[in-house]
């Protein structure tokens, strides 16, 4: 880490604007490429003319970009940014580098809600609403259980409650899959659990963006106080920071953002776990610097994975599969680099 970004925290602070600029440029270039790539290829010139509002572009190309590919690209960017930001928040709250958006059962609760909706034959909107409600309900249950556990460490109580509730919700998901019709319902459930941006519409994008923004607001407002979570409780009290308020704001923000992404695109793992580690290696551990870098990096990684998933095979590869294949080696590499530094 020091070899890449200087020998001190000051060096990392100086590198931060350059890292943000480089990631923003890479994200913009990847978005332009993603808008043109696919079975219906759009040359870069056509993409730029459509985006600029030119009239000399075929109507089919405009329909593909604005109605199909555009919402999908933007959804991948929003999902990646939201999951990465949630991972940064939860790892700070629990002081645990292995914390991820599914630690409190958010993903499992949202998955159960969606699976029940598919099993009962509900509409797409009802399935998404059920997934969102399931994620929020799961966190509420975890908080309720965590407060009654006879442990002095409240953070440990929440982690244990999250593991237990998440395991129970996973068992219920397996039960519904067992009862589902193997020819109609089970394939839809399996495909949804692996995540997908294939059916994202403009309405879905608007809903996803609204929920993600709502979840990111507390993270942005608490970004300067979040660094206090790395201190001991006595030091935090001496600084005058209300630790429970900060923790609750970060957890609620991460829950809203994660529930929104799961409701719109299904379960996509590893982004919230791996990306915060990479961001901290780039710019240090300061929450105000890590948060925007992680969001840009998560958006870039999610967009690249989605573009790759719809390009490498005749049938689309779910992003959840590729994030696992990419995330595990990257996590090992990051851990090895930390041990060497």
Domain segments of the chain as ranges: 2-340
What does the pLDDT look like over 22-37, one tens digit per residue?
999 999 999 999 999 8
| Structure tokens belonging to residue 275 | 């990306």
Highest-pLDDT range among 66-75, 130-139, 238-247: 66-75
User: pLDDT digits over 230-246, tens only?
Assistant: 776 666 666 667 777 88
> Which range among 49-58, 143-152, 260-269, 309-318 shows the weakest confidence by mean pLDDT?
143-152
- Kindly report, residue by residue over 176-228, the tens digit of the pLDDT: 999 999 988 998 898 888 888 988 989 889 989 998 999 999 999 998 888 88
- Please report the pLDDT score of residue 217 as a whole number: 94
CA distance 135 to 259: 5
Look up residue 93 and give its two tokens.
Answer: 């709250």
pTM attached to this predicted model: 0.89
At 236 the pLDDT is: 66
- Residue 139: other Cβ atoms inside 10 A: 24
Q: Give CATH superfamily name and number for 2-340.
A: ABC transporter involved in vitamin B12 uptake, BtuC (1.10.3470.10)
Q: For residue 310, count CB atoms less than 10 angstroms from its CB and return exposed for 0-12, middle for 13-18, buried for 19 or more.
A: buried
pLDDT-based confidence at residue 3 (cuts at 50, 70, 90)? very low
Which residue in 213, 204, 268 sits closest to 70, CA to CA?
204
d(CA 243, CA 226): 9
Confidence of residue 4 (pLDDT cuts 50, 70, 90): very low
Please give the pLDDT value at position 329: 85
**DSSP H helical ranges for 37-105:** 44-52, 59-63, 70-93
- DSSP letter assigned to residue 231: S
Per-residue pLDDT at 95:
79
């Amino acid at each position: 880490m020091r070899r890449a970004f200087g020998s001190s925290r000051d060096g990392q602070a100086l590198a931060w604007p350059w890292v943000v600029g480089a990631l923003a440029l890479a994200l913009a270039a990847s978005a332009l490429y993603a808008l043109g790539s696919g079975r219906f290829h759009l040359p870069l010139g056509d993409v730029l003319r459509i985006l600029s509002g030119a009239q000399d572009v075929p109507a089919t190309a405009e329909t593909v970009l604005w109605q199909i590919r555009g919402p999908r690209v933007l959804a991948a960017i929003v999902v990646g940014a939201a999951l990465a930001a949630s991972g940064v928040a939860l790892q700070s709250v629990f002081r645990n580098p292995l914390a991820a958006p599914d630690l409190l059962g958010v993903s499992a609760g949202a998955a159960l809600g969606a699976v029940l909706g598919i099993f009962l034959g509900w509409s797409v909107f009802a399935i998404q609403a059920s997934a969102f409600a399931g994620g929020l309900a799961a966190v509420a249950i975890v908080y309720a259980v965590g407060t009654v556990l006879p442990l002095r460490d409240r953070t440990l109580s929440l982690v244990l409650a999250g593991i237990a509730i998440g395991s129970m919700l996973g068992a219920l998901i397996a039960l519904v899959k067992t009862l589902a019709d193997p020819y109609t319902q089970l394939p839809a459930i399996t495909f949804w659990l692996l995540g997908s941006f294939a059916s994202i519409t403009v309405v879905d994008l608007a809903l996803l963006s609204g929920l993600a923004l709502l979840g990111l607001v507390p993270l942005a407002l608490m970004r300067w106080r979040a660094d206090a979570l790395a201190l001991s409780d006595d030091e935090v009290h001496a600084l005058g920071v209300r630790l429970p308020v900060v923790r609750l704001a970060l957890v609620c923000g991460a829950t809203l953002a994660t529930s929104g992404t799961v409701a719109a695109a299904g379960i996509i793992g590893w982004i919230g776990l791996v990306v915060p580690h990479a961001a901290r290696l780039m710019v240090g551990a300061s929450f105000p610097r890590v948060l925007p870098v992680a969001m840009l990096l998560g958006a870039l990684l999610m967009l690249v994975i989605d573009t790759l998933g719809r390009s490498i095979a005749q049938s689309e590869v779910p992003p959840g599969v590729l994030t696992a294949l990419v995330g595990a080696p990257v996590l090992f590499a990051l851990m090895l680099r930390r041990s060497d530094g």
